[in-house]
Structure 1
């Protein structure tokens, strides 16, 4: 066999070995590959961790759902997009349901603010209830972060509370204003009596005026107390069958002297033997207030009529006058406390501005309503509508069926004039 030359063997050996530049390039390529691999591994690990955190943060913590079920307020848990994940039962009143998004922009802004700061926030907002733009509600909205991506939103309806607070503020302000007049008058008249101590006639005149102001003060205080009781109570404390005949008779009797002094005739007509359920004294005061108002606003020589009309389920007590009437602009506010359509006349006649408000609340407490008809220059008619009941067994009228009592049960009568406390 022929032998290879020694030089060719050396060349072959060197041919299998990299040169330095090749070795450097190979090392660089391997380093880049390892670097890219490590970078991809880090990115993958970061994303996996982020996904795990997101899945964890999107999970409602244990117990939150149970708390929502037991809440009376509207409450919900929302995610970063405003999607509702869980709700309390009351949330439906504001149109908030699981799977929906918050529609109110102010609520969404509140949630975004809490999510960005991580701090609990509370705001007073006016939002619609159930998507009805005609039913805005005043609410206290409180948002708190749950983790990094969820927010607990609690919506408390404070509309009624705010209304009551405003009523109290108005009541205190109006009462303070109304009490200043008689109290101030009594103080001035007392000083006048001191100055006129040597003049018996002047003293008697001032004393008479003090008595009148004291009476007005007593009337105002009494009506304030009556109205406060009616507004404070959720229902009537003393409920029993009430004869409308007795209510009308007592109301008229209490105002006969006032009518005679004003030259106004009182007349009673309509159905008799009608009964309702309620508090007799409250109803007497309510009807009496209507009669007193009718007398005040009636011209001398006119008539005030008190009529009763009953059907199957409703009793109507109407008090009509032939007075100056009520302007249309005043009709919506006529039942407000201390509101007077004719300020000068009311002051002159000693009106308190509370009578019609008492009528309204007394009627509502009995499950009824008050209606008003009026024409300027022709007069006014106030009608109290109350639920009717059958006459009690011990009334002597017996229990009638609705059909029978509607046709016959309470015979209508003609108008009965009342003079000096007696019918004529």
Structure 2
């Protein structure tokens, strides 16, 4: 082998050795970079921007449970960058996800300000030292589902009760055909159950109409005096039977824009509730306060009152704070729900104040409008005219008896 060949062989061996060393160096550098990433607390590029754009609660935490990035809504749950996770349940969920290396989900109750909220939380490990937590508040969804379940359950029960009673009473009338007194008794009870069934179906239809997307069609300038008087009149028989006086007070001559029938039913339902839950001999007050912007109609009783924990649900369909009392009084559980939706459809609101043993006050607030010109004219009092002397009556002559 001459010198030229030896030089070529040496060059080839050197290239192979150099290439091997370069490969080893490249592998070592990649392993170092991977170790740096694994031990780094820096977020991937753009991750912070994604978090800031999220409407849901989302936070990134390190291995010790400290928050290194958060979306804007996370602050509502007390999750602030640089602070530890505020809830033990969340910390346990993060540990479980880090231990398995798989996403973990759970339904939890977390505190948002002063209230507990029902949430679903999902934890995903994004690097060996960082984990992503996404939280979705399902409190309202759960509440709606509970209302739906209550509605189906209670509607079924409420409809079955009068239907079953009507069936039994019809059979009883058939069996007592030879006893006129019994027939009259059963017929009266049958009529009462039929009326109850009719009231229930009517209220379900009214509530469905109020909850629909259709606008109210019978809008006009409504006299609050007319609404209050009609509402009181509709409950006068029940109040007299219960020995309860309904007293009307406050401002007169107020007007609102709305459907007079819907408003009358709403105020009538409040008066009916006050009568039903007041002791015999009590008073129910219906007061009106008005200014240029707002009209308030307050219905007050001195009855059993409503516990504080029940007050948030009192306007739900078929919900009753006192089940036994409601069944004795023949209530449908829809009255207050109708009130709420009727007033909301008029752009107003209903407020409740109640204390057990001290009674309740329901206050309806509606936007006031100026009295129509014809109403102002009719409201002005005319001065009474002096009676005229009858014409054609001559004065008696002197000495004559008048």
Query: Is the shorter-chain TM-score for this pair beyond 0.5, marking a shared fold?
Result: yes
| 1:182 CA displacement | 1.4
**Deviation string, structure 1 residues 186-241 (Cα, Å, up to 9, x no partner):** 121122123234445544443332221011112123334545666x5799867876
Q: Which residue of 1 aligns with 2:368?
A: 389
TM score, norm. by length of structure 2? 0.70
Separation in 2, partners of 1:223, 1:278: 19
**Deviation string, structure 1 residues 350-389 (Cα, Å, up to 9, x no partner):** 333443454456556623413347867xxx5634241442
Equivalenced residue count is: 347
Match of 1:52 among 33, 57, 63: 33
Provide the aligned C-alpha RMSD in A. Answer: 4.0
CA contact (8 A) 1:360 1:370 kept: no
Match of 2:65 among 82, 88, 111: 82
Match of 1:223 among 169, 194, 203: 203
| 1:105 CA displacement | 1.9
Q: Name which structure has the greater RCO, CA cutoff 8 Å, separation 6+.
A: 1
CA contact (8 A) 2:286 2:297 kept: yes
User: CA distance change for structure 1 residues 253 and 142 in 2, over 3 Å: closer, same or farther?
Assistant: same
User: CA distance change for structure 1 residues 298 and 127 in 2, over 3 Å: closer, same or farther?
Assistant: closer
| 1:257 CA displacement | 4.8
CA contact (8 A) 1:326 1:341 kept: no
Separation in 1, partners of 2:44, 2:319: 54
Q: Which residue of 2 aligns with 1:327?
A: 304
Separation in 1, partners of 2:100, 2:279: 71
User: CA distance change for structure 1 residues 194 and 396 in 2, over 3 Å: closer, same or farther?
Assistant: closer
CA contact (8 A) 1:236 1:278 kept: no
**Deviation string, structure 1 residues 54-113 (Cα, Å, up to 9, x no partner):** 433444334534432332111122222323333222212112233333222221221122
Q: Which residue of 1 aligns with 2:124?
A: 144
**Deviation string, structure 1 residues 327-361 (Cα, Å, up to 9, x no partner):** 357576474644265835x5444333443454456
TM score, norm. by length of structure 1? 0.67
CA contact (8 A) 1:114 1:145 kept: yes
Separation in 1, partners of 2:290, 2:319: 32
- Unaligned 5+ segments in structure 1 are 1-41, 399-409, 412-424
Separation in 1, partners of 2:171, 2:224: 48
| 1:157 CA displacement | 0.7
Match of 2:148 among 160, 168, 171: 168
User: CA distance change for structure 1 residues 257 and 228 in 2, over 3 Å: closer, same or farther?
Assistant: same
Match of 1:103 among 71, 76, 86: 86
| 1:279 CA displacement | 5.1
- Unaligned 5+ segments in structure 2 are 1-23, 381-402
Q: Which residue of 2 aligns with 1:191?
A: 171
Q: Which residue of 1 aligns with 2:353?
A: 371
Q: Which residue of 2 aligns with 1:24?
A: none
User: CA distance change for structure 1 residues 374 and 139 in 2, over 3 Å: closer, same or farther?
Assistant: closer
Task: Map residues 246-325 of structure 1 onto 2, 5 A cutoff.
Answer: 246-259=226-239, 267-276=247-256, 280-296=260-276, 305-311=285-291, 313-319=293-299, 325=302
User: CA distance change for structure 1 residues 228 and 68 in 2, over 3 Å: closer, same or farther?
Assistant: farther
| 1:311 CA displacement | 4.2
Separation in 2, partners of 1:215, 1:274: 35
SS where residue 307 of structure 1 aligns? strand
User: CA distance change for structure 1 residues 96 and 261 in 2, over 3 Å: closer, same or farther?
Assistant: closer
